[in-house]
Amino acid sequence: MRAQTESYRYEVEVVRSVCRETLERNWRNGVRQADGVPFAYTRPSLGHYPFQWYWDSCFAAISWRRFDQGRSRRELESLLADGLLWIVQPDESGLDAPQFDAIWHGHADGLPGFVRLVRRNRAHGYDLRRIAADGGPVCCEVMTNVFHALSSLALGRPSLTGVIIERMYDDKARLFRPLARPHPREEPAVTWAALSPLALPDLPEAIARRLVEEHLLDPERFWLPVPPPSVPPTEPAFSPRNSTLGIKRYWRGPTWINAAWLLWLGLVRLGYENEVELLQTSPAETVAAQGLREYYDPYTGRGMGSSDFAWSALVMEILDPVNGAGTSFLPGP
């Protein structure tokens, strides 16, 4: 098998070194001057994203577990609250994705109305209830809540998987969809986030296999040469480019390591051995050649976006898996 060759082992060692160096370089800790509260987190990218973001810290915590478990826990503990999470503007999720176009329309991230949206939300103190009362929109996004559920399970809290299924699983389409208030006039576009619950260790097998066999493994949609694209090419909004008309459009086609890792967890748990091997070899070759980039061309693997991108160190979890990957490193159901 490819995973046992000398060249593969060399690629793993090269990638391991790059991952650790990037995490160490991006680590920051101290005490907030305003209130004396200590902080510790991994900056997503030194030059472009120096602040702490919710899901970036979740990914960094997974990667730190391999090198320093104390840093892993410090990164995670400050991020959690109860119940499902709702967002008041699309950039809170970290996703610039076409699923939000039907919800926020011209106010979606990167569009002209986004500045007005931010000003309105700031005037409401970013308070969910006040913004919803003013007409919203507000959104309960799938991937955001998958990470929230995984973080809760990691700290021994009750599972949120049942609530995610009840609220966001579309049994007719056999995938997960975001909730929005007010309800959008048109169905949000399908993105990789619709498959992200595959990472939940207690997702019922019947639902998980539908996500894999009816969506993820479709070679016309998500199973491209460097899978999975953030948006399948069958969607009108698909574009593997860095930008459109000079505006950055991060999540409208390129492949991200964090997305590959999340879906890989489901493939491991369900026993898709050949597909798991492809998701090992493709990132190994891509990262060894291109480094830890923010995202990659889903057809060629060309590195795109920021360099030395911390959460792309998740590639080590795919290339050199440890016991527990089949249950997302958490207790099973």
pLDDT of res. 264: 94
To the question of pTM greater than 0.85 for the whole model, the response is no
pLDDT of res. 80: 59
pLDDT of res. 81: 44
139 — phi, psi (to 5°)?
Answer: -140, 140
Q: Which fold has domain 2-327?
A: Glycosyltransferase (1.50.10)
The three-state (H, E, C) secondary structure of the chain, written as one string: CHHHCHHHHHHHHHHHHHHHHHHHHHEEEEECCCCCCEEEEECCECCCECCCCHHHHHHHHHHHHHHCHHHHHHHHHCCCCCCCCCECCHHHHCCCCHHHHHHHHHHCCCCCCHHHHHHHHHHCCCCHHHHHHCCCCEEECHHHHHHHHHHHHHCCCCCCHHHHHHHHEECCCCEECCEEECCCCCCCCCCHHHHHHHHCCCCCHHHHHHHHHHHHCCCCCCCCCCCCECCCCCCCCCCCCCEECCEECCCCCCECHHHHHHHHHHHHHHCCHHHHHHHHHHHHHHHHHHCCCCEECCCCCCEECCCCCHHHHHHHHHHCCCCCHHHCCCCCC
pLDDT of res. 245: 59
pLDDT of res. 39: 82
pLDDT per residue of the chain (333 residues) written in tens, 0 to 9: 454 688 888 888 999 999 999 999 999 988 877 667 778 889 988 877 787 777 788 889 889 988 999 998 888 766 654 878 999 999 888 887 889 999 998 887 777 888 999 999 999 988 888 999 999 999 999 999 999 999 888 888 889 999 999 999 999 999 999 999 999 999 999 999 999 999 999 999 999 999 999 999 999 999 999 999 999 999 998 987 766 556 666 788 999 999 999 999 999 999 999 999 998 888 889 999 999 999 999 999 999 989 999 989 999 989 888 877 777 777 654
**Where are the chain's structural domains?**
2-327
pLDDT of res. 243: 63
